[in-house]
Amino acid sequence: MHTVLEVCAAAKRAAPAVARATTAERNAALEAMAGALDAGHEPVLEANRRDLDAAEASGTSAALLDRLALTPDRLHAIAAALRDLIALHDPLGEVVRGFTLPNGLDVRQVRVPLGVIAMVYEGRPNVTVDAAGLALRSGNACVLRGSSSAHASNTALVGLLRGAVEASGLPADAVCLIPDTSRESVKELGRARGLVDLLIPRGGAGLIAAVVADAQVPVIETGVGNCHVYVDSSADLGMAMDIVFNAKVQRPSVCNAAETLLVHRDVAEAFLPLVGDELGAAGVVLVGDAAAQSLAGAQRATDADWDAEYLDLRLAVRVVDSLDAALDHIAAHGTLHTEAIVTSDRAAARRFTARVDAAVVMVNASTRFTDGGEFGFGAEIGISTQKLHARGPMGLAELTTTKYVVEGDGQVRE
């Protein structure tokens, strides 16, 4: 078994070849990876069944089992996402800005790969392929550290991907998996200075906090989503119900699902009984304040409920007296991910979008649209909730850095 540092060193050696590869060569590797997934279903599905059996035996919730599960249709969709990347604009070599100085020097800021991108993630084997594809397409090598719950699935997937990458003419070590799923391996990965250029934790709050606390390499935080939908006094209540239902029910186990519903008091009496009926029929457990308990049949919410990322069929509901009260609640309990307002009042929409501090702000749309695929980025490597160079869904451009290329004709500095 290779150590964490040995795996990172292998990726570091492979990275220059990936960076030098042409767009056509990297696209050929992606097509080979997609083809391997299409042709290699059975070993991956068998490995995934072992993971699912172990997870079910340990009492894993239905929502988390859904995140873990692979099916032929899901594998075809994952392969299709790789092919979607091929059609996207290649960010490498793009001139971000260019100018000529008074002394005649031509200055260009150009996009280049980061080098080695490491990912730490939980329970979703599709992330293994998404991360590998995005890293390769943007000219980077990747080091993947999945969870123990998906270890068999991840090992089978990476085996397919490495074979495909090597067959296409690039180093197999452009895609590396850390076999050790212990907490110590995460710490070692975060301390791999000189080997890892960027570390991206993707998972729950506990995982992200642990990575950030120990890391000595650059980190981009992603994913924790206590997302709110605020139904304003002017909202079309039919539209609001459709948005709330989709944001909560369509796939509750993901970070862009709604976890809290805020309703203006002026429409609470008309709207909350609809919420109780429609979400209740879909199996959603409501917890809320006194008004939500009375009008929607919610259970009593605790203080912890307003901060919870349930990732399940559970929704916190609060009635607020004003748009400002909704904004104050979001500021106190949001996680800088995605916040939504349903309103017919343009001034209210403008105030909401101006005041909310989040990576994505939705107006009259479901929080579920915060997604790299939905934004046209292809598969995303995560949704950044911090404020450095990448914020929101992270596609190809967010996996690059820049360098300045300066050309002269003999200038020297006085």
Please name the residues in contact with 303: beta carbons below 8 A apart, sequence gap of 6 or more.
Answer: none
Domain 4-220+394-407: which CATH class? Answer: alpha beta
3-state secondary structure 243-308: HHHHHHHCCCCCCCCEEEEEEEHHHHHHHHHHHHHHHHHCCCEEEECHHHHHHHCCEECCHHHHHC
DSSP string, 21-65: S-HHHHHHHHHHHHHHHHH-HHHHHHHHHHHHHHHHHTT--HHHH
Going by C-alpha positions, the residue among 404, 379, 403, 397 that lies closest to residue 140 is 397
d(CA 74, CA 182): 28
d(CA 182, CA 112): 33
Q: What is the pLDDT along the chain (414 residues), one digit of tens a residue?
A: 589 999 999 999 999 999 999 999 999 999 999 999 999 889 999 999 999 999 999 999 887 898 899 999 999 999 998 999 999 999 999 999 999 999 999 999 999 999 999 999 988 899 999 999 999 999 999 999 999 999 999 999 999 999 999 999 999 999 999 999 999 999 999 999 999 999 999 887 888 888 988 899 999 988 789 999 999 999 999 999 999 999 999 999 889 999 999 999 999 999 999 999 999 999 999 999 999 999 999 999 999 999 999 989 999 999 999 999 999 999 999 999 999 999 999 999 999 999 999 999 999 999 999 998 899 887 788 899 988 889 999 999 999 999 999 999 999 999
- CB contact at 8 A, 178 and 145: yes
Its pTM stands at 0.86
How many C-beta atoms lie closer than 10 Å to residue 99's C-beta? 9
Per-residue confidence (pLDDT) for residue 1, from 0 to 100: 55
Count CA atoms closer than 13 A to 43's CA, side-chain side.
13
Q: How open is the CA angle 78-79-81, to the nearest 5 degrees? A: 65
361-383 per-position pLDDT tens digit: 999 999 999 998 899 887 788 89
- CATH fold, domain 227-369, is Aldehyde Dehydrogenase; Chain A, domain 2 (3.40.309)
Q: What is the largest CA-CA distance in the chain?
A: 79
| Domain range list for the chain | 4-220+394-407, 227-369
Per-residue confidence (pLDDT) for residue 63, from 0 to 100: 76
Q: Would you put residue 188 in left (φ > 0), alpha (ψ -120 to 50) or beta?
A: alpha
103-113 per-position pLDDT tens digit: 999 999 999 99
Task: End-to-end CA distance of the chain: give it in Å, rounded.
Answer: 57
Q: How open is the CA angle 22-25-26, to the nearest 5 degrees? A: 90
54: tokens are 């172990």
